[in-house]
Structure formats: structure tokens, C-alpha cells
Structure 1
Amino acid sequence: MRVLLVEDERLIADAIKTFLERHEFRVDWIDDGLLAEEALKNSVFDLVILDLGLPGQDGLAFLKSVRDDQKDTPIVILSARETTKNRIDGLNLGADDYLTKPFDMNELLARCRALVRRSAGRTRMLLQHGALTLDLDQKKACYSGTHVILQPLAFRLLTILLERRGRVVSKSDLMEQLYGWEENAESNVLEVYVSQIRRKTSSQMIRTIRGVGYIVDEDIPA
């Protein structure tokens, strides 16, 4: 799951980023409201964690702009503004949750997971496709009732493709989802992960669209 963290206090941002990445989230951090709005227009995120007191553009202005653009990405406000009016304003402008500082990291994690589940229409963090089941909480995969061991990024790649089944996902989009903005990877890394997934599940699980990217078809592979 890829998170856009919009927070201008470095110590808080570093702590959140470190904690969430320890729990298999991919976190991209921005400390400016205007830059965050641009990032959300140009990249795909599963969740936004939003501070309100931001340079460039206030968090509430960011929130209003995002919802006016019909973006439905789940957004949790994380702010020191703790009055009832602040919470009401944030929720009325389209925030999905509101957590006040100081906060418990485990509560933030639980709320993030709940929002992603709700957004995907799931009550549990499970993805199923034919004989394949992914447990997103435990980071476990099963195929035809047998536990399948995948490298963490291969598991993440398969999750992305399953969540967008029936749609071609470009290689550039997948690389950004897996590595964010801060890391570089070898150009053949996607092929390596796709090969691993096919070997551990079915050769038909992921289809290559030459020169474009990959797709998990709606039809369940044999």
C-alpha cells in the first residue's frame, strides 16, 4: 500500500514513515500543501495522511481541492488542531478520518488499514483470485491451498495487479508504486518478480502486454 504523507515537521514525518514502512507500507513524504496536490494529480496512492498546518497551502484547502477534483483517495487528517470545529470542518470537506496529535502509532496503523480496506470494499485484508489468496495483513500467499513464499516486493507487485485486475498497469506505474520517488532499481526487476510469481502460482496468472506493462485478467487462470 502506497501512502502520501503530507507533514511539515520532519521529526514527526520521519517517525511515521519509519513505522509504516516497517509494516509494509510504501511512504512518500511531502512537506508542502501545493506540492502534495500536484503529487496526488500525477501519481496513484492508496491513502493520504494529512497535516493541516502546512506551507504552500493549508491542509483544509488541499482537502477541498482534492475532493473538488473528484479524487476519492482515502484521507486521514493528523493534526494538533483538536477542537470539535476543526474535526467537523475536516470531515465535512471530505476527510475519511481525523486523528489528533499526540497519537499512538499503532492506532494510526489500524486506522490506515481500515481506510484502505473500506476503500477497496473489503471487510478483511484478503484478496482472492481463483485458487490464489493473498492475506495482506500477514503478507502471506496461498495457491491451491499451499502456502507460497514470495519476496516482499513480488508480493506487493501481485497485490497491485490483483487490485487492478482487468486493467493494464504500465511498467513505470508499477516501478513508482514499488519504489516511490527515492530509490532506483534495475530495469529488469519487474521481469524478475513476475517470473517468480508465475513460477510459484500459474504461468497464466500475469499476462505481459509487450512494450506497455502487465495485467491480471478478470478470467481466472487455469
Structure 2
Amino acid sequence: MKLLLVEDDEMVGESLQKGLKAEGYSVDWAMKAEDASFALETNSYDIMLLDLGLPDYSGLVLLRVVRQKHNQIPTIILTAKDSIQDRVEGLDAGSDDYLVKPFSLDELLARLRALLRRKRGSAEPLLEYNGLILNPKTFEATLHHQTFKLSTKEFAILMALVETPGAPLSKAQLEEKLYGWDDSNQSNTIEVFIHSLRKKLGQGWIKNIRGLGYFIPKDTPKGLH
């Protein structure tokens, strides 16, 4: 999952980016509203984490402009402003959730998982497709009563493919899910992760079309290997 963090406090931003990356999220970090606006226009994100007190203009203004452009990116406001009026203004501006600083990383992670479930239209913490069950909290995949522990990158790739069954995702699209602006990666890392997932789940689960990308078939793959 790829997040856009909009936070002007360097200490807070570095801490959040480090903590979220350790949990498997790819995080782009913008310190100004203008930078965040440009990022939203040129990249695809699953969730935006938005501070309100930005140096160029308010996070609320940014959020209103984003919604006026019909960008419905799920958004969690992260702010020290904790009055009822502040919360009402944030939610009315188009925020999906509101978290008051200081907060624990565990609480933020729980809210992220909840927001992702709502985005998928499911109240359940697990994602299931054709007998394959994914647990975003533990980064585990269960198939035919066998559970596999996945790396954060493997899980992100598998989640992206499960969310778009039958539709090929290119190597560039998958890399966008995995890496932020400041991440370095080798050109063959996607192939390495795909190879590992096929070994765990079976060759039938992840197909590829040359020149288009990788996909999970709409029909249930047969067997584990």
C-alpha cells in the first residue's frame, strides 16, 4: 500500500515514515501543500495522511481542493488541533478520519487498516479471493488451510493483484505500489518477489502476459503447485 504523508514537522515526518515503512507501507513525504498537490496529480496513492498546519497553506484548503477535483483518496487528518469544531471542519472538508497528536503508531496502523477495509467495501479484517485469504495485520496468506508468512513487499504485490483479478498490472505499476520517492530498487526485484510468491502459492496463482504485466486469473487456480 502506498501512502502520501503531508507533514511539515521534520521530526514527526521522519518518525512516521520510518515506522510506516517498517510495517510494509510505501511512503512519499511532502512538507508543503503545493508539493502534496503535485504528488497527487502525478502519482497514485491508497491513503493520504494530512497535517493541517502546513507552511504555505492549510491542509484543510488542500483537502477541499482535492475533493473539488473529484479525487476521493481516503484521508486521515493528523493534527494537534483537538477541539470539536476542528474535528467537524476536518470531516466536513472531506476527511475520512481524524487523529489527534500525539498518537501511537499502533493506533494509526489500526485506523489505516480500518480505512482500507472501508475502501474495499468490507467490514472484515481479512481479504478473501477464491479461497486465498490475506491478513493485512500479520502479512500472512492462507490457502487450502496452509498459512504462508509473506514479506511486506510480497504481501503488497499479492494484495494489489488480488484487488484487480484478471487485470494485468505492469512492472512499473507494481513498483509504484512498493517504492516511495527515496527508495532505491533493482530492476529485477519484482520478478524476485513474483518467483517467491509462486513457490509459496503455486504457479497457477500468478500469470503474466508479455508486455502487459502480471495478474491473478479470475478462475480459481487448481492446486498448490
Counterpart code for 1:161: L
Does 2:70 correspond to 1:70? Answer: yes
Q: Percent identical across equivalent pairs?
A: 38
Residues 57-99 of structure 1, C-alpha deviations (whole Å, 9 max, x = no match) = 3211110111112222210111122232222111111100112
* Maintained 8 Å contact 2:53/2:59: yes
Mapping of 1:185-196 within 5 angstroms? 185-196=185-196
Alpha-carbon distance between aligned partners in 1 of 2:214 and 2:18, rounded to the nearest angstrom:
30
* Matching residue of 1:88: 88
Q: CA deviation at 1:141?
A: 1.2
| 1:14 is the counterpart of 2:14 | yes
* Counterpart-to-counterpart distance in 2, 1:108 and 1:18: 13
- Could you tell me the TM-score, scaled by structure 1's length? 0.92
Distance in 2 (alpha carbons) for counterparts of 1:195 and 1:69: 39
Q: RCO higher in 1 or 2 (8 Å CA, sep ≥ 6)? A: 2
CA 1:207 to 1:8, structure 2 compared with 1: closer, same or farther past 3 Å?
same
- Name the structure 2 match of 1:162: 162
Q: List per-residue Cα deviations over 1:161-209 (Å, max 9, x = no partner).
A: 1122232222112112112211222212111211221222132212212
- The separation in 2 between residues aligned to 1:76 and 1:67, in whole angstroms, is 14
What CA deviation, in whole Å up to 9, does each residue of 1:3-59 have, x standing for no partner?
Answer: 111000001111222222232222221101111112122222121110011133321
Matched, 1:137 2:137: yes
Kindly state the Cα deviation for residue 120 of structure 1 after the two structures are TM-superposed.
1.2
Matching of residues 1-222 of structure 1 within 5 Å = 1-222=1-222
Unaligned stretches of 5+ residues in structure 1: none
Q: Which amino acid aligns with 1:176?
A: E
Letter in 1 for 2:78: L
Local SS of the residue matching 1:169: coil
The CA distance in 1 between the partners of 2:57 and 2:11, in whole Å, is 20
Q: Distance in 2 between matches of 1:38 and 1:143?
A: 41
* Secondary structure, counterpart of 1:155 in structure 2: helix
Contact 1:131–1:145 (CA under 8 A) maintained in structure 2: no
Are 1:5 and 1:48, in contact at CA under 8 Å, matched by a contact in 2? yes
For the aligned residue pairs, the C-alpha RMSD in angstroms reads: 1.7
Q: Is the 8 A contact 2:27 2:179 kept in 1?
A: no
The 8 Å contact of residues 6 and 29 in structure 1, kept in 2 or not, is answered as yes
Query: Do the aligned partners of 1:34 and 1:56 also contact (CA within 8 Å) in 2?
Result: yes
Distance 1:217 1:55 in 2: 47
One-letter amino acid of the counterpart of residue 44, structure 2: V
Q: Closer, same or farther in 2 for the Cα pair 1:206/1:114, shift >3 Å?
A: same
Distance 1:209 1:155 in 2: 21
In the aligned structure 2, how far is the partner of 1:55 from the partner of 1:79? 14
